[in-house]
Amino acid sequence: MKITFLGATQEVTGSKYLVEHEDIKILVDCGLFQGNISKRNWDPLPLDPKSINAIILTHAHLDHTGYIPLFVKNGFSGTIYCSPATAAMSAIVLTDSASLQEESARRMNEMNERSDHHKAPVLPLYTRQDVQHSLGYFKAMDYDTEFTIEKSLRFKLVASHHIIGASFVIISDGKTTLTFSGDLGNPNQLIMKSPPPLHHTDFLVLESTYGNRLHEQEGDSDPLEELGKIIHQTVKKGGVLIIPAFAIARTQQILYALYQLKQRKAIPSIPIFLDSPMAIRITDLFCEFSNEHTIPKSICKDVFTIAKFERTVEESKQIDHVNPPAIIIAGSGMADGGRVLYHLQHFIAGHKNTVLFVGFQAQGTLGHAILRGDKEIKIHGNVYPVHADIKSINHLSAHADYNEILQWLSNFKQAPKKVFLTHGELESAESLKDKIEKRFGWPVVVPHYLDSFALD
């Protein structure tokens, strides 16, 4: 076998790995580049999508699946293998991605029309129609069962619990085994199980997002306690608590935390709104795939009915007229788009209110600006003073920190021939490389974009 790295090299997005065996070519993950490097999605790939026999997905996050509709549009017509929950979630995630791109292109074109009539129209990377077409190529596969792609090339998905549907992808040509960790889950997440141990692989492609960080250094004690404290403070002030939250896993964790706090009578009964159509659809899937997380099936529906689900734009607007105290959970998680922006416009200038961040805020996002303490922020072209209290809880990350990664690696009974570190900034990947070499003495590589390695 041979592997070529087409993304997530010294960066955290765009996961795409080409695996070749004789004349068979497969891609593991087909992710979108996001943030500052999103322009790279428009560059042609150094391979012909028509020549790829199959895609295997580790999980549904956009940085692992978001390039699929374009790949299909450009000629891919093989099978996209993934777990049943990943297939269900990908449909939601990709449709949302297409909607955002269509909307953003429409807005840019309107702006261009107002300023300069000669600019070429801005196009979305793909449309909802492209997504619909690409969903026809998905094939849901059971966990822990070996499937043959072609000839002697086989693969198996093992539930990894980073998010629901997430899998380790284990590929074998009969002689050599190649394992992809996908994203490695945080064993202390409120609702996901710990990543299970693996004992043997010849080659390992491992993520390194938190290769130089520890969750406990981020200043939180028990996240439930922290959340309870913040809610009490907001209630005492008679304000509104706004929680920008990612739709997958993070929102459901927050809802479960609120449910538990309420059961323990640790917080008063106040209105809770979930205002994110995508998070609502993902939340519905959680009860469908209840063996993939730790919320007992018997209470799954009750847990999520703790919040009032706001599906329409009209319902969303009505929330801002609620009598405080209240809690509003809305996307996006970094406040760089979505309905949370409208609630921030309404509430961020109020001294009684609180904004609580529950995830990583990338540079350049509104969430990052608010969290670093900007006194004024700009939303939809208008400036707002920040008078609300700004808080954060970082302990709910969906990624293992470096101690947890090392702990997971210690389960291997035999040293891999090589470990490839991807899905981490250079500093983070290099730091993890150092730690793995020191602790285990295994050969570790931090590949560059387009690097290829023979696996034998």
User: Which stretches of the chain bind Zn ion, using CB under 5 A?
Assistant: 61, 183
- Of the pair 66, 69, the CB lying nearest Zn ion is at 66
Write down the least CB distance from residue 398 to Zn ion, Å: 6
- Of the pair 21, 61, the CB lying nearest Zn ion is at 61
- Do residues 429 and 419 make contact, with C-beta atoms less than 8 angstroms apart? no
Residue of 67, 276, 269, 248 lying closest to 165 (CA atoms): 248
Residue of 286, 337, 342 lying closest to 314 (CA atoms): 342
- Of the pair 237, 293, the CB lying nearest Zn ion is at 293
What DSSP line would sit under 373-435, residue for residue?
T-SEEEETTEEEE--SEEEE--TT-SS--HHHHHHHHTT-SS--SEEEEESS-HHHHHHHHHH
- Of the pair 96, 183, the CB lying nearest Zn ion is at 183
Q: Cα-Cα-Cα-Cα dihedral of 323, 328, 330, 335, to 10°? A: 90
- Of the pair 183, 336, the CB lying nearest Zn ion is at 183
Tokens of 414: 């035999």
d(CA 194, CA 192): 7
Q: What kind and span of H or E run contains 54?
A: strand 54-56
How many Å from the N-terminal Cα to the C-terminal Cα in the chain?
7
Write down the least CB distance from residue 183 to Zn ion, Å: 4
- Of the pair 90, 353, the CB lying nearest Zn ion is at 90
Write down the least CB distance from residue 162 to Zn ion, Å: 6
- Of the pair 168, 342, the CB lying nearest Zn ion is at 168
Q: What kind and span of H or E run contains 250?
A: helix 250-263
Write down the least CB distance from residue 121 to Zn ion, Å: 33
- Do residues 183 and 59 make contact, with C-beta atoms less than 8 angstroms apart? yes
Write down the least CB distance from residue 231 to Zn ion, Å: 28
Write down the least CB distance from residue 399 to Zn ion, Å: 8
Residue the block writes with tokens 């659809």: 281
- Do residues 202 and 417 make contact, with C-beta atoms less than 8 angstroms apart? yes
Write down the least CB distance from residue 167 to Zn ion, Å: 12
- Of the pair 61, 281, the CB lying nearest Zn ion is at 61
Write down the least CB distance from residue 194 to Zn ion, Å: 16
Residue of 39, 66, 65 lying closest to 122 (CA atoms): 39
Residue the block writes with tokens 């592997």: 3
